[in-house]
């Protein structure tokens, strides 16, 4: 892992203009995979921004844990403040730590157990809507389902009526993450052309829904014990003042996005993988049938669904929703013998690490049984498995996501078997999350 006599890490040939920007933007996972063949540290350039790619667990640990204070969030999330405000995803340093401490109780294990009933209830609702023989856009269905759940569990709000509109607005905002990475995007945002108008309309839609939820709760004065109640009651440690509607909006919007986008993608890819691996699918259905014995799923079933957990773990290994982790260097730092200058972008990729044959046997294959001999926690501690990142900025809702994913797989899998629609293409669309590029049409078949 030590550098040779080179003064700079290895790289690949640049594009005609903009360094490696076009190659990176065209297919980020493929570009980073290509860089990974050069060594544990490689270099590239996004316009004028020097960037470095880390591809070893020890280096990723250094970035996210050991020397995390030398770095801040990357350009994409800094630019996202215009969309998300100063929420947990975009805030920094002491403000971020204060917000995280304030929000953490909403994700305590006992509280997540309470959320399980809503997860099952909405899962059953969707399972009841499906009909045998029909074809559905499973990526959209999972977005709709997880949006219902995050609205109810974290904000005590029924967003079923707004789900389609909110889902479209969320998709627009996610798609704009690529736009805000463009050089000079700060200037482009001031121009009245269609993408900007579409973005502003999406932000307006989400603001209307979220501010309405906040207003309704303020008027009722009810403490329902959910995240929104905690935010409304929270007081600033220094001033003693309450959070403004704008501050609460920022946190709500951030968790609306993070709380449904990632799990929806994980479920979509899981149903795809099951459809392509009949033996695993059969074993999955057998576990459900054995544990449930023709009854409905209950929260108490969650720890018993061991193979279902292995399926979800393996799905997030092959298709991690958060496919890349970016940091901006605040000061000079050395990785593997190479000095990284301040203001450099440093990237690590769960997607590339999860496919690295050095750490995973038969890395490209879907093998849920691999998790019988290594636990998710053990792989995470080795920094070879990072679907929720690591360190002080790891996903606050990890426990929530595991329970939601496993219970929903069981609820839907109890009644239905999904097969890939004829002619459905498969590709990766790496935006802020790893979405299926061409959607995911699947045929619904009764079990």
Domain tally for the chain? 2
By residue range, what is the domain housing residue 228? Answer: 102-311+395-447
Q: Pick the last residue of a domain from 386, 408, 439.
A: 386
In a domain, 318, yes or no: no
In a domain, 301, yes or no: yes
41 plus 189 within the same structural domain: no
Q: Which of 101, 213, 233, 86 is nearest to 158 (CA)?
A: 213
374 plus 339 within the same structural domain: yes
Residue 80: predicted pLDDT: 61
pLDDT under 50: residue ranges of the chain: 5
Asked whether 27 and 180 are in contact (CB, 8 A), the reply is no
Q: Token pair for residue 52? A: 């470095």
306 plus 355 within the same structural domain: no
In a domain, 317, yes or no: no
Residue 74: predicted pLDDT: 63
249 plus 327 within the same structural domain: no
Please name the residue that has the structure tokens 């280096």.
59
Residue 87: predicted pLDDT: 63
In a domain, 47, yes or no: yes
296 plus 335 within the same structural domain: no
298 plus 372 within the same structural domain: no
Residue 122: predicted pLDDT: 96
Distance between CA atoms of residues 275 and 267, nearest Å: 12
Distance between CA atoms of residues 170 and 259, nearest Å: 12
Cα 180 to Cα 71, 76, 435, distances in angstroms: 20, 7, 18
Q: Pick the last residue of a domain from 335, 356, 386.
A: 386
Q: Which residues contact 79 (CB under 8 A, 6 or more apart)?
A: 180, 181, 185, 186
220 plus 305 within the same structural domain: yes
In a domain, 91, yes or no: no
Q: Which residues contact 160 (CB under 8 A, 6 or more apart)?
A: 148
In a domain, 273, yes or no: yes
Asked whether 315 and 270 are in contact (CB, 8 A), the reply is yes
274 plus 336 within the same structural domain: no
Residue 266: predicted pLDDT: 97
SS in 3 state form for 145-169? HHHHHHHHHHHCCCCCCCHHHHHHH
Residue 392: predicted pLDDT: 82
In a domain, 97, yes or no: no
150 plus 52 within the same structural domain: no
In a domain, 29, yes or no: yes
Q: How crowded is the C-beta side of 256, counted as CA atoms within 13 Å? A: 33
51 plus 73 within the same structural domain: yes
Counting DSSP H helices and E strands in the chain, the numbers are 18, 12
221 plus 119 within the same structural domain: yes
198 plus 327 within the same structural domain: no
Residue 6: predicted pLDDT: 54
Residue 251: predicted pLDDT: 81
Q: Token pair for residue 325? A: 């982790």
Distance between CA atoms of residues 219 and 397, nearest Å: 28
Q: Token pair for residue 46? A: 């996004």
CATH number at residue 45: 1.10.630.10
């Amino acid at each position: 892992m030590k550098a040779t006599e080179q003064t700079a890490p290895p790289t690949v040939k640049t594009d005609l203009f903009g360094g490696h920007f076009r190659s990176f933007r065209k297919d980020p996972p493929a570009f980073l995979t290509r860089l990974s063949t050069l060594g544990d540290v490689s270099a590239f350039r996004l316009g004028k921004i020097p960037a470095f790619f880390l591809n070893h667990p020890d280096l990723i640990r250094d970035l996210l844990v050991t020397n995390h204070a030398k770095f801040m969030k990357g350009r994409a999330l800094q630019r996202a403040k215009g969309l998300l405000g100063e929420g947990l995803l975009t805030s920094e340093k002491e403000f971020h730590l204060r917000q995280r401490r304030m929000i953490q109780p909403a994700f305590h294990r006992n509280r997540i157990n309470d959320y399980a009933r809503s997860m099952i209830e909405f899962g059953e609702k969707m399972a009841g809507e499906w009909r045998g023989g029909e074809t559905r856009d499973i990526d959209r269905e999972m977005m709709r389902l997880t949006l219902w759940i995050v609205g109810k569990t974290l904000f005590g709000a029924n967003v079923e009526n707004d789900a389609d509109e909110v889902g479209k607005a969320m998709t627009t905002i996610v798609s704009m993450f690529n736009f805000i990475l463009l050089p000079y995007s700060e200037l482009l945002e001031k121009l009245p052309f269609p993408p900007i108008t579409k973005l502003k309309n999406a932000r307006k839609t989400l603001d209307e829904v979220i501010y309405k939820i906040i207003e309704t709760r303020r008027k009722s004065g009810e403490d329902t014990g959910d995240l929104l109640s905690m935010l409304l009651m929270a007081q600033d440690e220094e001033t003693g003042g309450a959070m403004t509607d704008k501050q609460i909006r920022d946190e709500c919007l951030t968790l609306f996005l993070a709380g449904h986008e990632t799990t929806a993608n994980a479920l979509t890819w899981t149903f795809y993988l099951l459809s392509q691996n009949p033996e695993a699918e059969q074993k999955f259905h057998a576990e459900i049938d054995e544990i449930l014995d023709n009854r409905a799923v209950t929260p108490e079933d969650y720890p018993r669904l061991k193979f279902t957990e292995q399926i979800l773990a393996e799905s997030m290994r092959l298709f991690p929703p958060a496919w890349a982790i970016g940091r901006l260097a605040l000061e000079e730092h050395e990785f593997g013998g190479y000095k990284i200058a301040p203001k450099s972008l440093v990237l690590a990729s769960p997607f590339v690490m999860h496919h690295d044959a050095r750490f995973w046997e038969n890395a490209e294959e879907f093998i849920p049984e691999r998790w019988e001999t290594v636990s998710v926690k053990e792989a995470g501690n080795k920094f070879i498995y990072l679907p929720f990142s690591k360190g002080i900025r790891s996903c606050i809702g990890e426990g929530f996501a595991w329970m939601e994913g496993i219970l929903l797989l069981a609820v839907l899998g109890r009644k239905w078997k999904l097969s890939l629609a004829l002619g459905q293409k498969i590709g990766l669309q790496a935006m802020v999350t790893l979405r299926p590029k061409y959607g995911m049409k699947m045929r619904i078949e009764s079990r």
